[in-house]
Structure 1
Amino acid sequence: MGYRIAMVSDFFFPQPGGIESHIFQLSQRLIDLGHKVIVITHAYKDRTGVRYLTNGLTVYYVPFYTIYRETSFPSIFSFFPIFRNIVIREGIEIVHGHGSLSSLCLEAILHARTMGLKACFTDHSLFGFADASSILTNKLLKFILSDIDNVICVSHTCRENTVLRAVLDPTKVSVIPNALVAENFKPDPSKASKDYITIVVISRLYYNKGIDLLTAVIPRICAMHQKVRFIIAGDGPKAIDLEQMRENCMLQDRVEMLGSIRHDQVRDVMVRGHIYLHPSLTEAFGTVLVEAASCGLYVVSTKVGGVPEVLPSHMTRFARPGEDDLVEALSGAIIDYQNGRIQTDKFHEQVKKMYSWLDVAQRTERVYDHMYLEKPLPLIDRLKLYYGCGQWAGKLFCFVMAIDYLLMVFLEWFWPEADIDRASDRAPRTHSIKPNNDE
């Protein structure tokens, strides 16, 4: 048995998304490499307690309330008793958190360091520096990552952003991109229409995903090209804007809205298209772009964040995140596709060679190895790191850290580690179970 790892995040299945898929696929490959991996997340509706997925992956769905975009309500100290019980029960050595906006992730890293465990953090997003929410998030991230063993970012742009936001030592920040299971995203040209150019959009329908931009672009493209249709999959608060646009412009027969879909349905939607449109305003990586290219779609995307690092130039076309630029780029791609200047038949094999979850797992494994070369800091040195987070914030963070440490001492007295039952190590299962909504 290798390392014993706990992946912690608010974002996991049955909710679809890039972080959710990343955690699941990385966990599976780490299990294949001989490590023990569990996932800790919050409950999703009636999905609570302990579930078992492929290869014996154990998932703890903790019954916490969510407040916004499936992020749990910050509990700080109330999560510690549950977290400590799970970690001791499973014999965890490394806590690996995912997502800057995940309360569970940030709290788990804090408690893990209090318990003397190794801690790693993967950042999947880009944030600004000027608005109030970014300032608060960055200050909180600086506090949590002051005593982190290692940080992983999914792109070089994301790395620069995280280093600046959390004031990190760049030598402690690694870049490991996302990947995909290429066999699950094979192209099928027979599913695509021969009479129309179909443009596919699969995204959460939120402002930062460029849905306002998409709402403005669709009527203009439909007016310019009569043989073009759109398929939009996803859900969110901006869905109402797309519905209103479709009604006002009378595009019901040219814009198909599928609503929320499971991750195992993404390929079936993508193979119906010819071009994938990605109008996001901010993106650290964009796994969906890799999935689209693997399915044989040509990608038109806004040139933001780490997106230019994802695919080679012959697979994608970029536009600035503005209405006119995106219309021009998408219209040019449609014309080139109709005239046979875009050939996508080799995309799948090329993507398959570029991205592999096994490679991601092996690189993550090397990060874990490097973490064990670092000696643990005594409590006084940890407090010095937290104190350096700001004139007033530093004092507050030290106070929080001291309370966390005292809570650990109390929990050890109230419920000694020796009294907590140990979980047996389950042998991996060889058959596959897809983590969909019906489990």
Structure 2
Amino acid sequence: MPYNIAMCSDCFFPQPGGVESHIYQLSSKLIDRGHKVVIITHAYDGRTGVRYLTNGLKVYHVPFLVIYRETTFPTVFSFFPIFRNIIIREQIEIVHGHASLSSICHESIIHARTMGLRTVFTDHSLFGFADAASILTNKLLKFTLSDVDHVICVSHTCKENTVLRASLDPLMVSVIPNAVVAENFRPLILPSDDTALPADPHSRVTPAARRLGPNETITIVVVSRLFYNKGTDLLIAAIPRILASHPNVRFIIAGSGPKAIDLEQMIERNVLQDRVSLLGPARHEEVRDVMVQGHIYLHPSLTEAFGTVIVEAASCGLYVVCTRVGGIPEVLPGHMTEFAKPEEDDIVAATGRAISKLRAGRIPTELFHNQVKQFYSWTDVAQRTERVYDGISGVLPHDEFYPGTGAGAAGWSATRGRAGVQSFALIERLKRYYGCGIWAGKLFCLCVLIDYLLFVFLEVFAPRSRIDLARNWPKKEGKGLDEVDAGMGKESGGIGRKRSARHRDREKRRDG
């Protein structure tokens, strides 16, 4: 059944990044499948109010103060009146928050539960347990996820991390990876569709790759935000050593951040201006044009839940050198990647091995694109996310959505952190929050009580009858929902045909 969904996060375009791309692509595919999706994010320079993007995707840019890395200052309660107005105007049924460090995400989930809406949270990052920032973030996450209906993580490593940080039952956490639009990341020479690699990466039947001569220049590409957690310090230390060992190698680096000045100083100190090109920040639509200039993609990240950029690089036909951290080992098969420890010496050694393999013609990078296209699809991500929506809305039977719960599982709904459809009753919500800690539990309960009283106040003094309902974006002529779903049904074993029949029944009831 179709849903009215609000995607809530501080991370969205025009800010570049993996979370931003994930929200946009997922929203577009959900719209293609017949759902209504709106985005709630903060205002950017020159972008405020309501904007419409491709496919009728509506974006609400809320004018809040941005304090750090495009994250807004936590307002706790002052966001509620605006949020409630948007939710009622758009007749939202499910609120889907993204990113652990997004204030808008956390506040939206709390307010949505107060309003009696179903909620989903997607975690895109990994966090530790020892430093002060991680401890505070984890406590905030535990507060928010105490009363969420379901959680999605982008990798199995991310799931383990989130379950531990927020004390969740693993049954209420699903793993749905990111994806890429492979057609937007094509190599310069696109192979034919019948040249895909064998299903078994260790098969001996492997097409020969083009050899690179000993004097032919190999270009190493880096596209990343220049922050500490992205391994920029490792990159700064490794570049001079790599270039000293391999005279016919050069670097192209695209990205911006606080570490950019350190990178520039390293280039000047080692006089590498003719071998290292700094392009500055690159828009997402420009990333492919940067990547296709190279042969190797270097990704020295210190922590990563998924790493969409390495999938984009492989789709462009680049051999990937990356650190074995977080969820990165889950992303690509071993014949597409050269792994290294997050250490300077190992990154230099791994890059050297990658250069040697390319010069020897042992890596058929020209075939990567077709295989990546088979691995990842946003249509598949949307279908799996839609199944989560069906599960929390009661469309799917409980035993089917939470396999293995068995008899008596319905009684789990009142228990904090257990898999099951969460109750909206205030007393049950307070029980779940109270279990978050001796002092924190009491503080969380106080916040929820104030939020509930604010909701009652708004219902009395700003009644719903005074809020105009927004008109839905008209459906495309020529290729409507039936055709879109029918096409997807071919890929999903008939799911599309069932949805199309339901859509026709709704149209008949509405017209009748």
Same fold per superposition (TM over 0.5) = yes
Matched, 1:305 2:326: yes
Percent identity, please.
Answer: 71
SS of 2:38's equivalent? strand
What TM-score, normalized by structure 2, do the two folds share?
0.83
Superposed displacement of residue 376, structure 1: 2.9
Once the two structures are superposed, the pairs formed by residues 15-94 of structure 1 within 5 Å of their partners are: 15-94=15-94
SS of 1:59's equivalent? strand
Higher relative contact order (CA 8 A, sep 6+): 1
The whole-number CA distance in structure 1 between the counterparts of 2:80 and 2:476 is 31
Name the counterpart of 1:104.
104
1:205 pairs with one of 201, 222, 226: 226
The whole-number CA distance in structure 2 between the counterparts of 1:66 and 1:85 is 22
What letter is aligned with 1:413? Answer: V
Maintained 8 Å contact 2:357/2:363:
yes
Name the counterpart of 1:350.
371
Maintained 8 Å contact 1:189/1:271:
no
Maintained 8 Å contact 1:98/1:122:
yes
Name the counterpart of 1:437.
none
Matched, 1:270 2:286: no
What letter is aligned with 2:130? Answer: A
Q: For structure 1, which runs of at least 5 residues remain unmatched after alignment? A: 432-439
Matched, 1:339 2:360: yes
Name the counterpart of 1:135.
135
After TM superposition, the runs of 4+ consecutive aligned structure 1 residues lying more than 3 A away are: 428-431
What letter is aligned with 2:324? Answer: K
Determine which structure has more spread, i.e. the larger CA radius of gyration: 2
The whole-number CA distance in structure 2 between the counterparts of 1:427 and 1:260 is 36
Name the counterpart of 2:388.
367
What letter is aligned with 1:162? Answer: T
What letter is aligned with 1:423? Answer: A
What letter is aligned with 2:66? Answer: T
Superposed displacement of residue 377, structure 1: 3.3
The whole-number CA distance in structure 2 between the counterparts of 1:306 and 1:418 is 48
Q: For structure 2, which runs of at least 5 residues remain unmatched after alignment? A: 191-211, 395-420, 479-512
What letter is aligned with 1:19? Answer: V
Maintained 8 Å contact 1:53/1:59:
yes
The whole-number CA distance in structure 2 between the counterparts of 1:259 and 1:348 is 26
After superposition, give the CA deviation of every residue in 1:342-375 in whole Å (9 maximum; x if it has no partner). Answer: 2111100000000000000000000000011226
Once the two structures are superposed, the pairs formed by residues 75-224 of structure 1 within 5 Å of their partners are: 75-189=75-189, 195-224=216-245
What letter is aligned with 2:169? Answer: D
Superposed displacement of residue 428, structure 1: 4.2
The whole-number CA distance in structure 2 between the counterparts of 1:143 and 1:171 is 19
Q: CA RMSD in A?
A: 1.4
SS of 1:346's equivalent? helix
The whole-number CA distance in structure 2 between the counterparts of 1:116 and 1:258 is 48
What letter is aligned with 1:28? Answer: S
SS of 1:345's equivalent? helix
After superposition, give the CA deviation of every residue in 1:90-122 in whole Å (9 maximum; x if it has no partner). Answer: 000000000000000000000000000000000
Name the counterpart of 1:414.
461
The whole-number CA distance in structure 1 between the counterparts of 2:281 and 2:476 is 30
Range 421-430 or range 375-384, more displaced:
421-430
Name the counterpart of 2:201.
none
SS of 2:37's equivalent? strand
The whole-number CA distance in structure 1 between the counterparts of 2:41 and 2:452 is 23
Name the counterpart of 1:436.
none
Maintained 8 Å contact 1:89/1:420:
yes
Superposed displacement of residue 35, structure 1: 0.2
Superposed displacement of residue 427, structure 1: 1.7
What letter is aligned with 1:153? Answer: C
Range 400-409 or range 412-421, more displaced:
412-421
The whole-number CA distance in structure 2 between the counterparts of 1:16 and 1:44 is 12
What TM-score, normalized by structure 1, do the two folds share?
0.96
Name the counterpart of 2:246.
225
The whole-number CA distance in structure 2 between the counterparts of 1:290 and 1:341 is 20
What letter is aligned with 1:65? Answer: L
Name the counterpart of 2:424.
377
Maintained 8 Å contact 2:148/2:422:
no
Q: 1:239 to 1:80 in 2, by over 3 A?
A: same
Name the counterpart of 1:435.
none
What letter is aligned with 2:450? Answer: I
What letter is aligned with 2:138? Answer: N
Name the counterpart of 2:398.
none
The whole-number CA distance in structure 1 between the counterparts of 2:346 and 2:123 is 29
Q: Give the length in aligned residue pairs.
A: 429
